[in-house]
Amino acid sequence: MSIERRRGAILISGRGSNMVALLQAAQAEDFPVDFTLVISDKIEAAGLGVATGAGVKTYALKTCRQGQAAWEAELSEALVEAEVEIICLAGFMRLLSAKFVEDWADKILNIHPSLLPDF
């Protein structure tokens, strides 16, 4: 039995070890997400090369001189263009604004481990 998969993006900041786990999980026929895009806030993130090697489109956003709102607008544009329905924050180290989170409400999962509720 085949399920309808949702288009997903993975946001990373470094090596992408959690991204690799997600991409491997997505190989299963019954996994609900097809990851079609990996975005990093760091151009030099090693995970971008790993994603490219796995055949996943990548996009790197560098710091925007116009501020966080402009940076997040570019991020949203990339997500919309890729028709993303689910965003997985997998070791993504940038803080996202309340507006961005509200705009993508019910579509963001943060899988980065941390010492909650401290961080």
**Residues 69-103: pLDDT tens digits?**
999 999 999 999 999 999 999 989 888 999 999 99
Stretch 56-62: mean pLDDT, rounded?
92
Percent of the chain at pLDDT above 70? 92
pLDDT exceeds cutoff 70 at 53: yes
Catalytic residue, chosen from 112, 114, 117, 118, is 112
Tell me, yes or no, if 3 is annotated catalytic: no
Res. 112 pLDDT band, cuts 50 70 90? low
3-class secondary-structure state, position 88: strand
Contact partners, residue 31, CB within 8 Å, separation at least 6: 5, 25
Q: Is 116 exposed, middle or buried (0-12, 13-18, 19+ CB in 10 A)?
A: exposed
